[in-house]
Amino acid sequence: MSEKKKNQTEAPVNASGDIFPIDSNDTDVMVTLDLDDGTTMDCEILTIFDIGEQNYIVLLPVDENDIPYDYTSVVIYRYFEDENGSPYLDNIQSDEEYAAVEKRFSEIQDQLEATE
């Protein structure tokens, strides 16, 4: 993921339009991604939201001290859980899907800013 992928966007909600925070107690939930180039990237999970039947996860890349590299750049993937509840991610599949996800994430950010 050395180059900017479709999944990366500038820095969450369920089908009913509610914001769906991952951690209601403001506790950081962290994951480590194994990238295609063999490196890893640690990320804080910001939220999960859906568009229709598809869930998306928003990740904020962090350094070895769990400090975000850049507060304005997040990574968004398709998010799934298998029959055992184990999560897995997939790349966004098309420019059209990416545009819809980016638009929805922007709406979510606007909603969050309006409540602050």
Q: How many domains does the chain have?
A: 1
pLDDT tier at 49, thresholds 50, 70, 90? very high
Do the domain assignments include residue 3? no
The two tokens of residue 96 are: 């059209």
Do the domain assignments include residue 21? yes
Do the domain assignments include residue 12? yes
Which residues, other chains included, contact 15 with Cβ-Cβ below 8 Å and sequence gap of 6+? 50, 52
Residue 79 lies in domain = 8-115
% of residues, the chain, pLDDT over 90? 39
pLDDT tier at 70, thresholds 50, 70, 90? confident
Note whether 11 and 60 are within 8 A (CB): yes
Do the domain assignments include residue 41? yes
Q: What is the mean pLDDT of residues 57-63?
A: 92
